[in-house]
A and B are shown apart, each in its own frame.
Chain A
Amino acid sequence: MEFPGLYDYWIVVALMMAGLYIVIARRNLVKQMVGLGIFQSSVFIFYIAMGKVEGGTAPILTEGATAYSNPLPHVLILTAIVVGVATLALGLALIVRINEAYGTIEEDEIHEKEAQQ
């Protein structure tokens, strides 16, 4: 990571926008979940990038280390990753149910079948 300045944040923005595009534009429910995951982990990368200190090491106390990266974002993101998987599981269970009720996981077809009833 020899690029200085705000380069990392711009990568995060690019990834986040790709995830957002998938969520808005794609009509397949499983793909939307993947897009949501991409959006989520771009936020994680953003937090972790903020916690980095120049010349620091991982926040495990050892002899000879002078600077440590900020441990606080790491804690927050550890929690967020696990909660993210829980929500992913719940969303996928909903998708499986929708597939059983409508026989499809495409949003358009679901709307069509809704209109017919």
Chain B
Amino acid sequence: MTITVVMVVRLHNLFAVVMLGGIYSLLAATMFVLFDAVDVAFTEAAVGAGVSTVLLLGALALTSREEKDTGKLAVIPLIIVITVGIALIYGTLDMPLYGDPNAPIHVHVAPYYLERGMVETSVPNIVTAVLASYRGFDTLGEVCVVFTAGIGVLMLLSRERLTRRYRGVGGDKR
């Protein structure tokens, strides 16, 4: 996984970068399966590796394929990145150990969902129960966000076609 990311940093052919991005998403999905998050793995494989890659390829088709080679390693960003990384690793030293059942995250509200979820919603998959029932309003908000983004994309992409038709130059391109 790390190798894939390093290749993404190094490569300049955008087509290869996008493909490696897809591979990275797929690896992330397998990692989610290892972490017991099967629903998330499904979504990541379908949406992250599938739809994102298609979107990026579409954008490449409309723009250019090659990145301009700057040649030199950017020093200041590298210093910033390393500093932030060291700070973050210092921060993880206070984290509860991986898989610890007594970590704060596991003793607050999650046991309630696990115990009462079947009784209150009669859905055996707790992730679905929380997503659709307990936190249904959040999911509605998510749908709103996706809808707004869709409107934004349509406005951005159709504007150009409208102005072109107004000027009477190209016709319907797409």
In the assembly, what is the distance between CA of A22 and CA of B6, in Å? 10
Contacts of A89 in B (CB 8 A): 55, 149-150, 153
Distance in Å: Cβ of B103 to nearest Cβ of chain A: 7
Contacts A37-B25, A61-B117 known; list 15 others, CB within 8 Å. Answer: A24-B74, A25-B78, A31-B67, A38-B8, A50-B103, A51-B37, A52-B36, A59-B125, A59-B126, A74-B37, A74-B127, A82-B146, A96-B59, A97-B160, A108-B68
From B85, B103, B117, A14 is in contact (CB under 8 Å) with B85
Q: What are 18 A-B contacts with C-beta separation under 8 Å? A: A3-B98, A24-B77, A24-B80, A27-B68, A30-B67, A37-B52, A41-B25, A45-B28, A48-B31, A54-B99, A56-B101, A58-B36, A70-B106, A71-B130, A73-B105, A82-B47, A92-B56, A105-B64
- In the assembled complex, the Cα of A25 lies from the Cα of B14 at a distance in Å of 16
Min CB distance B78 to A, Å, is 7
Give the residue name and chain of the A residue nearest to B99 (CB).
Answer: A54
Which residues in B have their C-beta under 8 angstroms from that of A74? 37, 39-40, 127
B156 contacts A by Cβ under 8 Å: yes
Q: In whole Å, how far is B4's beta carbon from the nearest beta carbon of chain A?
A: 9
When the two chains form their complex, are residues A17 and B84 in contact, meaning their CB atoms are under 8 A apart? yes
Interface residues on B, range: 35 or more
CB-nearest residue of chain A relative to B14? A30
Bound-state Cα–Cα, A11 to B34, Å: 15
Determine if A75 and B43 form an interchain contact, defined as CB atoms under 8 angstroms apart.
no
Residues of A within 8 A of B5 (CB): 15, 18-19, 38
Asked if B47 contacts A85 (CB within 8 A), the reply is yes
Asked whether A88 lies within 8 Å of B139 as measured between CB atoms, the reply is: no
Contact A52 B99 (CB under 8 A): yes
**CB pair A21 B81 closer than 8 Å:** yes
Chain B hits for A38, CB < 8 A: 5, 8, 21, 24
Distance in Å from the Cβ of B162 to the closest Cβ of chain A?
13
Is there an interface contact between A71 and B127, defined as CB atoms closer than 8 Å?
yes
Residues on B with beta carbons closer than 8 Å to the beta carbon of A33: 56, 59
- Give every chain A residue within 8 A of B43 (Cβ-Cβ): 78, 81-82
The answer on a CB contact under 8 Å between B39 and A6 is no
For A34, give its contact among B56, B93, B103, B106 (CB under 8 Å): B56
Any B CB within 8 A of the CB of A79: yes
Cβ-defined contact, B142 with A51, below 8 A: no
